[in-house]
Amino acid sequence: MGTVARLGRAVSSMMLVAVIGGFLSACSVNAIPTDAEQAKAKWADVMNQYQRRADLIPNLVATVKGYAQQEKTVLEDVTNARARATSVQINADTITDPEAFKKFEEAQAQLSGSLGRLLAVSENYPDLKSNQNFLALQSQLEGTENRIAVARHDYIEAVRIYNTDLKTFPTMLWAWTFYSSYKPMQEFTASDEVKTPPTVKF
């Protein structure tokens, strides 16, 4: 009888291990770090596109200046906005900081607004609008703004999934135990007007 009891306990233990193993697998114990890395990768894409935009601006400003020197205020606004935007950097380790993220978002929004005004001013200069270098820069800027919009969308979706992991059962159990150092990541909060890319007309 003792042997049967021990055998029964052994079988029960094995079943318990199997159930726990299945539970761990079903609960995606690795979901939090996996989704965190995915969100960080999407953030890197966002930063790459914003940097691409920043790299285009000096040439754009120089080209416009050659035809519209009297638009000094608009040109200075774009240059200053670019300087502010590139000075506020958020990396994968600081996208959980609400204050830093807000500063970054505001700086990029100001740059978008300044670019929009610069492109609007260019409409008043037919020679500028027909300049091949300006047309090429406009085309590159338009493509970059579209890529920024896509990168932001992908980042927002990745963050939504990751932040949901931290708040919902069963993955929240792992957030409380194994991943207590993991914090919610910040999402873009700018209005639709700010998120609309500057209009590029040909």
pLDDT in tens, 57-67: 999 999 999 99
175 in any annotated domain: yes
Read off the pLDDT of residues 125-147 as tens digits, 9 standing for 90 and up.
Answer: 999 989 999 999 999 999 999 99
Give pLDDT, residue 5. Answer: 60
When pLDDT is cut at 50, 70 and 90, the band that residue 190 belongs to is low
52 in any annotated domain: yes
When pLDDT is cut at 50, 70 and 90, the band that residue 6 belongs to is low
Q: 18-27, 73-82, 92-101: which has the minimum mean pLDDT? A: 18-27
pLDDT reading at 166 higher than 60: yes
Q: In the block, which residue shows the tokens 């990745």?
A: 158
pLDDT reading at 167 higher than 90: yes
Q: 26-30, 50-54, 62-66, 160-164: which has the minimum mean pLDDT? A: 26-30
For 40-55, b/e burial (b = at least 16 CB within 10 A) is bebbebbbebbeebbe
For 32, phi and psi rounded to 5 degrees?
A: -65, -55
Residue 190 and residue 109: Cα distance in Å, rounded?
8
121 in any annotated domain: yes
pLDDT reading at 50 higher than 90: yes
Say how many domains are in the chain: 1
Give pLDDT, residue 192. Answer: 43
Give pLDDT, residue 200. Answer: 45
> Considering the entire predicted model, what is its pTM?
0.81
Give the CATH number of the domain where residue 46 resides: 1.20.1440.20
Give pLDDT, residue 164. Answer: 96
Rounded average pLDDT over 18-46: 80
Share of the chain above pLDDT 70, in %: 80
Higher pLDDT, 200 or 12: 12
106 in any annotated domain: yes
Give pLDDT, residue 195. Answer: 46
The C-alpha angle 14, 16, 19, rounded to 5 degrees, equals: 110
202 in any annotated domain: no
Rounded average pLDDT over 33-41: 96
Higher pLDDT, 193 or 140: 140
Domain that holds residue 36: 2-195
Higher pLDDT, 15 or 63: 63
In 3D, which of 10, 121, 8, 139 has the Cα closest to residue 69? Answer: 121
